[in-house]
Amino acid sequence: MMPDLGTYAAEVSLAYVVSLALIALLIGWVWARGRRMKRALDALETRLNRKQNGQV
Amino acid sequence: MIALLIRDLRLAFRAGGGFGLGLGFFLILAVLVPLGVGPDPQTLGLIAPGILWVGALLACLLSLDRMFALDHEDGSLDLLATAPIPLEGVVAIKALAHWLTTCLPLALVAPVLGILLNLPGPGYLWLVLSLLLGTPALSMIGAFGAALTVGLKRGGLLLSLLVLPLYVPTLVFGAQSVTRAAQGLDPLTPILLMSGITAGSLALLPFAAAFALRINLR
Amino acid sequence: MASLWEYANPVKFMQTSGWLMPVAAVLAAGMIAVGLVWGFFLTPDDFRQGSTVKIIFLHVPSALMAINAWAMMLVTSLIWLVRRHHVSALAAKAAAPIGATMTLIALITGAIWGQPMWGTWWAWDPRLTSFLILFLFYIGYIALWSAIEDPDTAADLTAVLCLVGSVFAVLSRYAALFWNQGLHQGASLSVAPGTRMDWSYKGPLYLCMVGFVMLFIALVLAGTRTEIRARRLRALLTRERAMG
């Protein structure tokens, strides 16, 4: 399955591994931040709604 | 506006105004580099133009955060913003005061440090000339950076992070002109390009800096 | 015909990006996967560069996005300054870390590629130097965003920095060219005769380039959605505190 990369096998695989790792890291960071923010906002909105309904 | 310039100059020369700090820094850098690189005159002569330009640039950076910070703290910046003179003019005057108190002395002292670093003969004239023509851009860009970070508590480090990349073109052309002169080549092209950057910065950046100041004073 | 400015409305933007983001993400994943697998496993080695030519499928698309991300930030910053649409400023904020990562990938893959080809990890070549300087600009921009508390002030100041920075980034590019004529080859995809690439390289390269554009779109949309939520969260908290 693995192609013969010749003399430069180490360099080529290193480039792929590092780049894919960085992209994965970036996606993970964006995704985690999105999740955290969504959860925080949802929690606050339900709290505010409950507060409003309790007062009325 | 002239009154403002005189006031700024007087504040800088007063005790605690920080005048001379940049000069001292420049001197120390020119002493440290041979200590780090070794005393070989040929090597030193080769890197002297670059070291002197980088040193001048860093020395110029040192005093930038004081440009608006003190006036912001005691509230006189708000007064200046509502004064009849345009804020763009205030920014330009502040940059001019910074140039007169920090960069002009650097340019005049640079040849002496050039001797320490064994700068080749033809480089001296162009060193002074390139510093005189290039450092106004450094002061003006610095004024823009200082205007961006004026309200921040630890703005000093951020200021250098923002300003240093903007210094790149001036540094490249300025140091290139001295290097070329020192090697006996024609230094005119880089110095003209650098003067172009200086002229452009002086013409446009006061508006950007005044815009940033207005936002920060809002 | 719906106007582009409709998306300046956060609600409308959230609706549209809600379905557009997954579409772009799926497209990006598919195209990058196919492009990289094709490029990595199925392309022949170059007769001069050996297998290192396969790095191109990561290097060129990331370099492309590194520059285009800044261009997009410039446009959205201008829109924010002129028309005061919050979504625009937040999109610029969301794009910065993505552009910085792309610049980093382009630099790293370039260094790894340069090692066997030029015999050195790093050469002060104009293109490499310009990218390093671009990376510094990204860092400064991100640092300024995170240093200022008030979101509108931060948006204004970073927008001005982006405009001024763009001018100086271009100047730096030419300064670097002046300073050192480089080792870096010219554009690989030029139409000039004699420099044509074979389809076995062009195919995966184009796929990866479009895939990276899709990846960028998906990530910017996701990031902008997060920033819009963060803004709303902040507004609600302030209002709650004001009401006691």
pLDDT per residue as tens digits for the range B138-176: 999 999 999 999 878 777 889 999 999 999 999 989 988
Contact between chains at B215 and C175 (C-beta distance less than 8 A): no
Q: In which residue are the tokens 């340019």 written?
A: B107
Please give the Cα distance from C157 to C148 (Å, whole number). 9
**In which band, very low, low, confident or very high, does the pLDDT at B136 lie, cut at 50, 70 and 90?**
very high
Secondary structure (DSSP) of C107-176:
HHHHHHHHHHHHSSS----HHHHHHHHHHHHHHHHHHHHHH--SHHHHHHHHHHHHHHHHHHHHHHHHHH
Q: For residue B193, give both structure tokens.
A: 């390009």
SS3 annotation, B105-135 = HHHHHHHHHHHHCCCCCCHHHHHHHHHHHHH
Tell me the CA distances in angstroms from B192 to B31, B196, C181, one per residue in order: 30, 6, 20
A9-48 burial string, b = 16+ CB within 10 Å, else e?
A: eebbbbbbebbeebbeebbeebeebbeebeeebeeeeeee
Contact between chains at C45 and A6 (C-beta distance less than 8 A): yes
What pLDDT was estimated at residue C9? 81
- Cα nearest neighbour of C238 on chain A: A44
Neighboring chains of B (3 or more beta-carbon pairs < 8 A):
C
- Cα nearest neighbour of C149 on chain B: B152
What pLDDT was estimated at residue C138? 95
Most confident region among B63-67, B86-90, C199-203, C211-215 by mean pLDDT: C211-215
Q: Are C200 and C28 in contact (CB under 8 A)?
A: no
C224 touches chain A (CB under 8 A): no
C226 touches chain B (CB under 8 A): no
> Is the predicted pLDDT of residue B217 greater than 80, yes or no?
yes
Chains A and C contact (Cβ–Cβ under 8 Å for 3 or more pairs): yes
Q: Are A44 and C87 in contact (CB under 8 A)?
A: no
The H-assigned helical ranges of chain C are 10-37, 56-83, 86-118, 126-147, 151-179, 199-243
> Is the predicted pLDDT of residue C183 greater than 70, yes or no?
no
Q: Are B117 and B52 in contact (CB under 8 A)?
A: yes
User: Which residues span the domain enclosing B169?
Assistant: 2-217
The rounded percent of chain C whose pLDDT value lies above 70 is 88
What is the average per-residue pLDDT within B124-141?
92
What pLDDT was estimated at residue C193? 42
Nearest residue to B16 via CA among B93, B73, B70, B90: B70
| Among the ranges given (A1-10, B122-131, C63-72, C202-211), the one the predictor scored with the smallest mean pLDDT | A1-10
C181 touches chain B (CB under 8 A): no
Nearest to A30 among C41, C222, C240 (CB): C222
Residue length, chain B? Answer: 218
If one compares C185 and C18, the residue with the highest pLDDT of the two is C18
Contact between chains at C112 and A11 (C-beta distance less than 8 A): yes
Contact between chains at C133 and B168 (C-beta distance less than 8 A): yes
Please give the Cα distance from C34 to C225 (Å, whole number). 28
Contact between chains at C164 and B208 (C-beta distance less than 8 A): yes
Please give the Cα distance from B57 to C137 (Å, whole number). 18
Which residues of B lie closer than 8 Å to C, measured between beta carbons? 144, 148-149, 151-152, 155, 158, 161-162, 164-166, 168-169, 172-173, 176, 190, 193, 197, 205, 208, 211-212, 215-216, 218
Q: For residue C97, give both structure tokens.
A: 């870390």
Chain A residues inside the 8 Å CB shell of C236: 41, 44-45, 48
Chain C residues inside the 8 Å CB shell of B142: none
Tell me the CA distances in angstroms from B28 to B20, B52, B132, B153, one per residue in order: 12, 11, 21, 28
Q: Residue C149 — φ and ψ, nearest 5°?
A: -80, -50
Amino acid C244 reads G
What pLDDT was estimated at residue C1? 44
**In which band, very low, low, confident or very high, does the pLDDT at C31 lie, cut at 50, 70 and 90?**
very high
Model pLDDT for residues C96-122, shown as the tens digit of each residue:
999 999 999 999 998 888 877 777 777
Q: Are B161 and B155 in contact (CB under 8 A)?
A: no
| Average pLDDT in chain B | 87
CA B202 to chain centre: 13
What is the average per-residue pLDDT within C178-199?
57
C146 touches chain B (CB under 8 A): no
Q: For residue C100, give both structure tokens.
A: 């910085």
Residue length, chain C? Answer: 244
Contact between chains at C108 and A15 (C-beta distance less than 8 A): yes
Amino acid C85 reads H
Kindly tell me the number of DSSP H helices and DSSP E strands found in chain B: 10, 0
What is the average per-residue pLDDT within C221-230?
93
- Long-range own/partner contacts, residues C230-239 (CB < 8 A, 24 or more apart): C230/A37, C231/C86, C231/C90, C231/C151, C232/A41, C232/C10, C233/A37, C233/A40, C233/A41, C233/A44, C234/C151, C236/A41, C236/A44, C236/A45, C236/A48, C237/A44
Model pLDDT for residues A2-46, shown as the tens digit of each residue:
566 667 777 888 888 999 999 999 999 999 999 999 999 999 888
The rounded percent of chain B whose pLDDT value lies above 90 is 31
- Cα nearest neighbour of A48 on chain C: C240
Q: How many distinct structural domains can be found in chain B? A: 1
C45 touches chain A (CB under 8 A): yes
The CATH fold assigned to C20-179+202-243 is Four Helix Bundle (Hemerythrin (Met), subunit A) (1.20.120)
Mutate to test the interface with B, among C163, C168, C173, C174 (most CBs of B within 10 A): C168
ipTM for the predicted complex: 0.87
| Among the ranges given (B112-116, C20-24, C43-47, C164-168), the one the predictor scored with the smallest mean pLDDT | C43-47
In the DSSP assignment, the letter for residue C46 is B
What is the average per-residue pLDDT within B77-83?
82
Neighboring chains of C (3 or more beta-carbon pairs < 8 A):
A, B
pTM of the model: 0.88
Distance from the B89 Cα atom to the nearest Cα atom in chain C, whole angstroms: 19
Contact between chains at C160 and B148 (C-beta distance less than 8 A): yes
Please give the Cα distance from B160 to B166 (Å, whole number). 10
